[in-house]
């Protein structure tokens, strides 16, 4: 029992280090300004580590771990979890996600104010499961926002939140992070193409996206996307 406890403590320590590194990366890469945005990772079946509310990521140390159960009950730590905890927990309760990244990335947020879904200007749309939807606006931190987000995430690993930002999830923190970076990049691409006066960007068809989706699922045996 004691050894099991130690093993859990070690995996929580490792997961916390990786979570803090990922959160800092969102700031360093310009996806987040200040303490907006948040990151979480699931450890074992029942524990979720999340960034705390209102603490700059560069100040987070090993003792600042915030751990909750899937119902939001505090498991460890004294800092308050992110106010967006309902979104993170909704994803873990309803998908096979192991990590979630939420940002206020500028191009993605701009797109969320313009359209109900991101027009498929690039085949990496398929890497998020298909055309990326925009979840209708609701106040941050509410169950209503978490519900709108879940609906937008059906069969997808990422979505936009209207007038707010991005949410993506993955099997690992680096996969969830990479999906956010790809989503922000695609939003920037669409805004760039869309803003050329007198011209309209060409969009990919459902069939073209399905074909890429099939290739990506066989990723490893076939040529990687380039």
Report the catalytic residues: 84
24, exposed or middle or buried, with CB in 10 Å at 0-12, 13-18, 19+?
middle
Strand partners, 100: 40, 169
- Scan for tokens 């709108």, then name that residue: 148
d(CA 104, CA 149) in angstroms, rounded, equals 15
- Beta strands (DSSP E) in 30-164 are 38-43, 47-50, 67-69, 74-76, 99-103, 134-135, 158-161
Q: Are the beta carbons of 104 and 34 closer than 8 angstroms?
A: no
Phi-psi region of 90 (alpha: psi -120 to 50; beta: other; left: phi over 0): alpha
> Hey, how many other C-beta atoms are within 10 angstroms of the C-beta on 116?
12
Do the Cβ atoms of 105 and 180 come closer than 8 Å?
A: yes
């Amino acid at each position: 029992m004691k050894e099991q406890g130690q093993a859990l403590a070690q995996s929580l320590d490792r997961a916390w280090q990786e979570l803090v590194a990922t959160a800092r990366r969102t700031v360093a890469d310009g996806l987040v300004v200040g303490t907006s945005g948040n990151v979480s990772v699931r450890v074992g079946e029942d524990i979720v580590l999340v960034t705390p509310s209102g603490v700059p990521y560069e100040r987070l140390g090993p003792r600042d771990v915030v751990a909750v159960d899937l119902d939001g009950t505090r498991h460890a730590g004294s800092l308050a979890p992110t106010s967006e905890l309902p979104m993170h927990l909704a994803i873990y309760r309803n998908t096979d996600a192991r990590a979630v990244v939420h940002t206020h990335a500028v191009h993605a947020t701009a797109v969320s104010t313009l359209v109900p879904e991101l027009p498929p200007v690039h085949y990496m749309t398929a890497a998020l499961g298909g055309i990326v939807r925009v979840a209708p606006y609701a106040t941050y931190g509410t169950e209503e926002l978490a519900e709108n987000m879940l609906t937008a995430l059906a069969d997808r690993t990422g979505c936009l939140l209207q007038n707010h930002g991005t949410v993506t999830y993955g099997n690992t923190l680096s996969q969830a992070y990479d999906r956010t970076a790809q989503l922000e990049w695609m939003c920037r691409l669409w805004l760039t193409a869309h803003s050329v006066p007198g011209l309209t960007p060409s969009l990919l068809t459902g069939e073209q996206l399905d074909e890429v989706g099939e290739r990506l699922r066989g990723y490893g045996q076939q040529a990687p996307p380039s």
